[in-house]
A and B are shown apart, each in its own frame.
Chain A
Amino acid sequence: MEVLSCAKVGLVKNEKSILQNVSFTLLEGQLLGIAGPSGAGKSSLLRLCNLLDSPAAGSIYYKGKDILTYNPLELRRKVGYVLQKPYLFDGTVEDNLRYTYTVGKKQADITEIKSYLAKLNLPVAVLPKSKTELSGGEQQRIAFLRSLLARPDILLLDEVSAALDEANTLLLEALLKEEAAISALSVMFVSHNVQQLQRLAHAILYLENGQPCFYEQAKDFFAKGELQHE
């Protein structure tokens, strides 16, 4: 089932065209890799899908309805977005994770938090720490978890494993695959890591200069050796 689709989406910022004519469809439980050189518009595309910006052209649909017709707060709880640079709020890690429940007007589930911490190879002892006591990789995983706890239908991830070592990257990927398979979580992830795209993506959207160069099944994409130059 389609959960998110873009139809000929364009974005203009400060009179500069950032994206043109981007179309794709994200299915339930699908992992869609977004690849392309720096400045190709990958992060801008995620911002549009989270409604942090509005498209200048075309439309984006969530479950068949234009995202502009949704209440943006409810939409963002369903379409979560983890920014490239992890940003943790002042306070402890636990405060950060509880924030998601507070915003969603739900009771914080500490069992759920602990179970996810374990899956991400983070000790429970991380909870009372502040962001200054965490490594870049730890901050990135906490920021990721903070968005996951909202139980979104879709997660938009911007280079979410950029600060992680290989072992932790694989753990995070395993968690994403598990969530996609069990909870039907759909994921759009930006990555410069070819191996990660190969391991994780069902389909690939390759952007260059704000335009989609390829959009196809991952196996077809890699069969052609499109990313050899990266």
Chain B
Amino acid sequence: MSNLSLALTFSLVALALVISYKEKIGLEKDILIGSIRAVVQLSIIGFVLKYIFQLNNIWFTSLILLFMIYNASTVAAKRGAGIGKVQTISFAAILIGLVITLGGLLSFHVLSYQPSEVIPVSGMVVGNSMVALGLLYRNLIALFADKREEVEVKLCLGASPHEASRNLIRDSIKTAMLPTVDSMKTVGIVQLPGMMTGLILAGASPELAIKYQIMVMFMLTGAVAISAFVASFFAYQGFFSRHAQFVK
């Protein structure tokens, strides 16, 4: 693809702008900013990745992963505003999810710890965990507000905060995991995921692309489950005082 061809694809954005303007959707500014940001951010990350791939340093690669996790946890924490220590919880949850799943893939020799392999795959894991945690927090906050009576009645009967919130935690983890599980069910028949499409476009054989895609789906399922579980385990505690009182 030449740079000119790429530039011409901007006409499609222009089409979106026209529709937005004609139909008074009011998204023109956002579309413009969004497309400019996409070009700028991706260009920068392209240069950075090129540099990192050439550097191929274990510590530097790990530092990049931590930076990704930090950014993701900041975004997830915004969805959980009001929950105590939510940023730390999110960071730990995403980190643990990544360490376990990435560790698995490295030990099964599916991947090697090289930036060109680890960074894109980790990006998918961290991104999906971030979305899952956002859903988890929103659901936890809504359920604790909605089911306050149930939680307090259980506390009155001598239940621990964990026991009293068991149903809420369960529902929230389920909500967090559903998008990943659903996309695993429909992959290939509803959508061809980005990673697979990318590999095929770059010239890889469909068989190889499929192998990688299966690995990614399994990895995402594991990572999302682990990070949602870890985050819920700590996040629910923020709704209780040290005297096991429901405080929110």
Asked whether A73 and B244 contact (CB < 8 A) given A83-B156, A103-B157, A103-B158, the answer is: yes
Residues facing A in B88-143 (CB within 8 A) are: none
- Among B150, B153, B159, B163, residue most surrounded by chain A Cβ atoms (within 10 Å): B153
B241 proximity list for chain A (CB < 8 A)? 54
Taking the complex as formed, is A52 at the interface, i.e. its CB lies under 8 A from any CB of chain B? yes
- Residue interface bits B140-157, CB-to-A below 8 A is 1, else 0: 000000000110111111
B245 proximity list for chain A (CB < 8 A)? 51-54, 72
Residues facing A in B62-93 (CB within 8 A) are: none
Size band of the interface chain A makes with B: 20 to 34
B158 adjacent to A104 (CB under 8 Å): yes
Taking the complex as formed, is B160 at the interface, i.e. its CB lies under 8 A from any CB of chain A? yes
Once the chains are docked, how many angstroms separate the CA of A122 from the CA of B233?
Answer: 40
A68 proximity list for chain B (CB < 8 A)? 243
B160 adjacent to A54 (CB under 8 Å): no
Taking the complex as formed, is A146 at the interface, i.e. its CB lies under 8 A from any CB of chain B? yes
Residues facing B in A122-163 (CB within 8 A) are: 143, 146-147, 150
A87 adjacent to B158 (CB under 8 Å): no
Once the chains are docked, how many angstroms separate the CA of A73 from the CA of B155?
Answer: 7
Question: In whole Å, how far is B43's beta carbon from the nearest beta carbon of chain A?
Answer: 52
B155 proximity list for chain A (CB < 8 A)? 52, 76
Taking the complex as formed, is B212 at the interface, i.e. its CB lies under 8 A from any CB of chain A? no
The one of A77, A82, A85 that contacts B149, using a Cβ cutoff of 8 Å: A85
A73 adjacent to B160 (CB under 8 Å): yes
B152 proximity list for chain A (CB < 8 A)? 52, 83
Once the chains are docked, how many angstroms separate the CA of A37 from the CA of B21?
Answer: 62
Taking the complex as formed, is A29 at the interface, i.e. its CB lies under 8 A from any CB of chain B? no
Taking the complex as formed, is B246 at the interface, i.e. its CB lies under 8 A from any CB of chain A? yes
A72 proximity list for chain B (CB < 8 A)? 243-245
Question: In whole Å, how far is A85's beta carbon from the nearest beta carbon of chain B?
Answer: 7
Asked whether A80 and B246 contact (CB < 8 A) given A52-B152, A87-B150, the answer is: no
Asked whether A52 and B158 contact (CB < 8 A) given A68-B243, A85-B149, the answer is: no
Once the chains are docked, how many angstroms separate the CA of A150 from the CA of B157?
Answer: 7
Asked whether A52 and B246 contact (CB < 8 A) given A73-B158, A103-B158, the answer is: yes
Taking the complex as formed, is A214 at the interface, i.e. its CB lies under 8 A from any CB of chain B? no
Taking the complex as formed, is A99 at the interface, i.e. its CB lies under 8 A from any CB of chain B? yes
Residue of B nearest to A70 (CB): B243
Question: In whole Å, how far is B123's beta carbon from the nearest beta carbon of chain A?
Answer: 40
Asked whether A87 and B149 contact (CB < 8 A) given A68-B243, A72-B243, the answer is: yes
Once the chains are docked, how many angstroms separate the CA of A76 from the CA of B150?
Answer: 16
A150 proximity list for chain B (CB < 8 A)? 157-158
B156 adjacent to A81 (CB under 8 Å): yes
B244 adjacent to A80 (CB under 8 Å): no
Contact sample, A vs B, 5 pairs, CB 8 Å cutoff: A54-B245, A76-B155, A76-B156, A80-B156, A81-B156
Chain B residues with a Cβ under 8 A of chain A: 149-150, 152-160, 163, 241, 243-246
Nearest 8 A/B pairs, CB to CB: A77-B158, A72-B244, A76-B158, A81-B156, A87-B153, A87-B149, A103-B159, A72-B243
